[in-house]
């Protein structure tokens, strides 16, 4: 297997690969940790769904352990300070929304935006990953679809009273995603992950999700346009 990675002659042990991996691996580890924390917080905000949200948070912890093993397997030390800075925009917005009890905003940030980002990144990574990381990532991405589905179902059931807050939260947070993609573009390229593919996968996933929740094509076009120039 691992055909594309072999065809592209990716040298997983080169200093250049390992240097880029120290940041991308850290981003993923930090992302999984933050996802864990965010689902715990959401469980406090939605007490009737607490058990399910705790179950999701435990999956995120497992993902984090899996990606830590991927870094160790390549003898890479993840650059965690870089990753914390990378996530600070979405982190702060989630904390602010949680403090104000804005559960719709919290769900948009974690269960739609961050999960779609994860699904795009993991799907693009799998064909170009080393054998060890590919197996781990294949298991993880299946879970991420179920996390996205959780947010989708809740927001669909509560669409009428959530619509305005979703539009505002999208406007505030989507530009941050484009900024994050720009920041990671060069390192992703070293791992044979192209920014254009990441953007395409993210937008397909995110647009499909907004449609399932109840937004019209017209709404989705407007919402997708925010921050494209970031
Ligand atoms: O729900 C989750 O598990 C999400 C936290 C994980 C997000 C991972 C973010 C990946 C972005 C990587 C960018 C690489 C090009
Ligand atoms: Fe995860
Ligand atoms: Fe997740
Ligand atoms: Fe390129």
Pure H helices in the chain: 3-7, 15-45, 50-73, 80-99, 103-107, 115-125, 131-157, 159-190, 195-213, 217-224
Cβ contacts of 48-54, under 8 Å, gap ≥ 24? 49/154, 52/150
- Name the residue at shortest CA distance from atom 1 of ligand 1: 115
Cα separation, 228 vs 10, in Å, equals 31
The model's pLDDT over 61-92, given as tens digits with 9 standing for 90+, comes to 999 999 999 999 999 999 999 999 999 999 99
- Determine whether the shortest distance from the Cβ of 115 to ligand 1 is under 6 A: yes
Instruction: Choose which residue among 28, 122, 139 to substitute to test ligand 1 binding: the one with the highest number of ligand atoms within 8 A of its C-beta.
Output: 28
- Cβ atoms 184, 21 nearer than 8 A: no
pTM (global) more than 0.90? yes
- Cβ atoms 229, 152 nearer than 8 A: no
- Determine whether the shortest distance from the Cβ of 64 to ligand 1 is under 6 A: no
Per-residue pLDDT, 229: 57
Q: How sure is the predictor about 18, in pLDDT bands with cuts at 50, 70 and 90?
A: very high
- Determine whether the shortest distance from the Cβ of 184 to ligand 1 is under 6 A: yes
The model's pLDDT over 208-221, given as tens digits with 9 standing for 90+, comes to 999 999 999 999 99
For helices 15-45 and 50-73, angle between their N-to-C axes, nearest 10 degrees = 170
Per-residue pLDDT, 226: 85
Q: How sure is the predictor about 46, in pLDDT bands with cuts at 50, 70 and 90?
A: very high
Residue holding tokens 């981003």?
Answer: 27
Query: Can you spell out the DSSP letters for 15-71?
Result: HHHHHHHHHHHHHHHHHHHHHHHHHHHHHHH-GGGHHHHHHHHHHHHHHHHHHHHHH
> Reduced to 3 states, what is the DSSP secondary structure of residue 78?
coil
Counting from 1 in the atom list of ligand 1, the atom nearest the Cα of 193 is 15
The model's pLDDT over 159-199, given as tens digits with 9 standing for 90+, comes to 999 999 999 999 999 999 999 999 999 999 999 999 999 99
Per-residue pLDDT, 33: 98
DSSP class of 72: H
Complex prediction ipTM: 0.95
């Amino acid at each position: 297997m691992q055909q594309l990675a072999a065809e592209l002659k990716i040298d997983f042990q080169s200093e250049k690969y390992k240097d880029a991996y120290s940041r991308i691996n850290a981003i993923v580890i930090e992302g999984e940790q933050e996802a864990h924390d965010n689902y715990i917080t959401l469980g406090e905000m939605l007490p009737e769904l607490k058990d399910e949200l705790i179950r999701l948070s435990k999956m995120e912890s497992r993902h984090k352990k899996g990606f830590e093993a991927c870094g160790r397997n390549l003898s890479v030390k993840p650059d965690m300070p870089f990753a914390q800075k990378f996530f600070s925009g979405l982190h702060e917005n989630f904390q602010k929304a949680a403090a104000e009890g804005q559960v719709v905003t919290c769900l948009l940030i974690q269960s739609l935006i961050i999960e779609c980002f994860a699904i795009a990144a993991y799907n693009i990574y799998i064909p170009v990953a080393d054998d060890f990381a590919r197996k781990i990532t294949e298991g993880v991405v299946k879970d991420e679809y179920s996390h996205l589905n959780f947010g989708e179902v809740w927001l669909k059931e509560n669409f009428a009273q959530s619509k305005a807050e979703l539009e505002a939260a999208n406007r505030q947070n989507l530009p941050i995603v484009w900024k994050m993609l720009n920041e990671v573009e060069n390192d992703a390229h070293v791992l044979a992950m192209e920014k254009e593919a990441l953007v395409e996968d993210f937008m397909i996933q995110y647009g499909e999700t907004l449609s399932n929740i109840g937004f019209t094509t017209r709404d989705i076009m407007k919402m997708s346009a925010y921050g494209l120039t970031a």
